[in-house]
Chain A
Amino acid sequence: MLGALIIVFREVIEAGLIVGIVMAATRGVIGRSRWITIGIGGGVLGASIVAMFAGAISDAFQGAGQELFNASVLGVAVIMLMWHNAWMARHGREIADEMRRVGAAVSEGAKPLTALAIVVGLAVLREGSEVVLFLYGIMASGTSGAALVVGGFLGIAAGAAFTALTYFGLLAIPNRHIFSVTSWLIALLAAGMAAQAMQFLNSAGLVVALDRPLWDTSWLLSEKSIFGRLLHTLIGYTDRPTEMQLIVYIATLVGMFLLMRVARYSPRERVPAAAE
């Protein structure tokens, strides 16, 4: 039972971390619970569908379907995170001001919520499909019985508790700084995802240039340990990054900050009320 709990927990925490950050990043925005719930629900549904068609996805594109699918999911999530951060760079200050003034929720966040709901959905879908497959395997084999299934579901519960922990931890950050902190977190999240997508493209045999590992820190912190997994999701920690991964990581960060800069210095910032 403990084994099943751990396997499920370590898949769930990666998605849980992302959900916790997204919840903190949308603090005080009206309708965000609904959007995040839609994201999680859609992700669970998607995960079940992906698990059901795991064989077909895997067989697609000369057997590289699964890698391409993962790379695409990550790629879309990176674009959504960039969109969110650009939007926040433009409107974040107004929202923070409004929150201070009325001390309550504001409704201006309607736009990035779709982006973040998609990010939540994709994170749940990616990690969730592995959980679904694992639990299905247990149930189908029958011999190992109910204890493992209970362990699996306890793992999901532990993951949800971890999400709450992330969220309330981030809530400790004062209102004034919350959006700049979450913007940083989202930028690092996106860079890590982009680097991971590169690795999937490499496994698919599509991008094979610059694929030598630059260094190996697995002796110090394995990417597969719980802490390693957390850092992997949070900042894209990889114990054997390739040259291409490092390039993509840095390029994503630079791209993100340029985009936020452009968004911030737009002349439209002068007319806050008229903004979309």
Chain B
Amino acid sequence: MRSVLVAIGVAGLLTVGAAAAWADDYVLTIKDHRFTPADIKVPANQRVAITVINEDATPEEFESNSMKVEKVIAGKSKGVVRIGPLKPGRYPFIGEYNEATAKGVVIAE
């Protein structure tokens, strides 16, 4: 039982080296529970990394069903969201903890 857990941990650590190669040219900022910019253009059919900077003191969950992303960004911190490849189109996202104000769209073209 313990050896299984250790094996999983080791496998996880070994494979993690491959995760590095992502260009993050895209930045979203959360402030006062709003995203800036609210819409962000990305190339279609490519993998894209978006850095989400949370300037609020409270945590936020970046969530998009259409892009299959769920990621908690702690207060005063940042996180990288990896999406795509997306077909051309509009992909809405929200900040789940403040859905009323935290809204935006990724436009793939």
Contacts and interface: CB of A to CB of B under 8 A. Distances in A.
Interface of A: 3, 7, 51, 54-55, 58-59, 61-64, 66-68, 72, 75-76, 79, 129-130, 133-134, 136-137, 140-141, 199, 202-206, 208, 211-212, 218, 222-224, 239-240
A223 B77 contact: no
Chain B interface helix/strand/loop/mixed: mixed
Query: Is the interface on chain B under 10, 10 to 19, 20 to 34, or 35 or more residues?
Result: 35 or more
Contacts of A141: 57-58
A140 B58 contact: yes
Interface string B86-102: 00000000001111100
Contact of A64 (B5, B19, B68, B75): B19
29 contacts: A3-B100, A7-B96, A7-B97, A7-B99, A54-B72, A55-B77, A59-B79, A61-B19, A62-B16, A62-B20, A64-B16, A64-B80, A66-B71, A66-B72, A68-B12, A68-B16, A72-B12, A76-B8, A133-B59, A133-B97, A134-B61, A137-B59, A137-B97, A140-B58, A203-B68, A205-B21, A206-B19, A208-B47, A222-B65
Nearest to B63: A224
B73 A58 contact: yes
B82 A218 contact: no
Contacts, number: 104
Given A137-B97, A206-B15, A222-B65, A58 B79 contact: yes
A199 B68 contact: yes
Given A7-B96, A58-B79, A205-B82, 18 more contacts: A51-B59, A55-B75, A58-B74, A62-B16, A62-B20, A64-B16, A133-B59, A133-B74, A134-B97, A137-B75, A140-B58, A140-B75, A203-B69, A203-B81, A205-B18, A205-B49, A208-B47, A224-B65
Main secondary structure of the interface of A (DSSP, over half): helix
Contacts of B98: 137
B8 to A, nearest CB: 6
A72 B59 contact: no
A165 to B, nearest CB: 25
A133 B72 contact: yes
B57 A140 contact: yes
B84 to A, nearest CB: 9
Most buried by A among B60, B69, B72: B72
A129 B59 CA distance: 12
Contacts of B22: 62, 205
Contacts of A64: 16, 19, 80, 82
